[in-house]
Amino acid sequence: MKLAVDANRRQLKTNAKALLETEISEDLKDAIQYALTNWEGTTEEVKNNAARIKELLAKETKSTLLNKVIELQNYFVKKSVWAFGGDGWAYDIGYGGVDHVLASGKDINILVMDTEVYSNTGGQASKASPLGAVAKFAESGKGTIKKDLGMMTMSYGYIYVASIAMGANKAQALKAIKEAEEFAGPSLIMAYSPCINHGIDMSMTQKEEKKAVETGYWILYRYNPALAAEGKNPFILDSKKPTRPACDFLEGEKRYTSLKQTFPEKVQGFCDQFETYATDRYEKYRKMAEDK
What's the pLDDT at 138? 61
Residue that is last in its domain, among 76, 102, 127: 76
Residue that is last in its domain, among 16, 45, 76: 76
Residue that is last in its domain, among 61, 76, 91: 76
- Taking a C-beta distance cutoff of 8 angstroms, is the pair 6, 108 a contact? no
One domain for residues 199 and 253: yes
What's the pLDDT at 96? 86
C-alpha–C-alpha distance, residues 217 and 243, integer Å: 11
What's the pLDDT at 134? 59
Mean pLDDT within 63-91: 85
Q: For residue 161, which of 92, 90, 93, 78 has the smallest C-alpha distance?
A: 90
What's the pLDDT at 135? 61
Q: Is the pTM of this model over 0.85?
A: no
One domain for residues 21 and 89: no
Q: How many domains does the chain have?
A: 2
Q: What is the DSSP letter of 75?
A: G
Give bridge partners of residue 221 from the DSSP assignment: 163, 237
C-alpha–C-alpha distance, residues 218 and 212, integer Å: 5
What's the pLDDT at 48? 87
CATH number at residue 121: 3.40.50.970
Q: For residue 102, which of 92, 114, 90, 113 has the smallest C-alpha distance?
A: 90
One domain for residues 148 and 125: yes
**Within 13 A of 262's CA, how many CA atoms are on the CB side?**
13
pLDDT for 12-59, tens place per residue? 889 889 999 998 899 999 999 988 888 766 677 888 888 899 999 999
CB atoms closer than 10 angstroms to residue 229:
10
284 membership: H or E segment, kind and range: helix 270-290
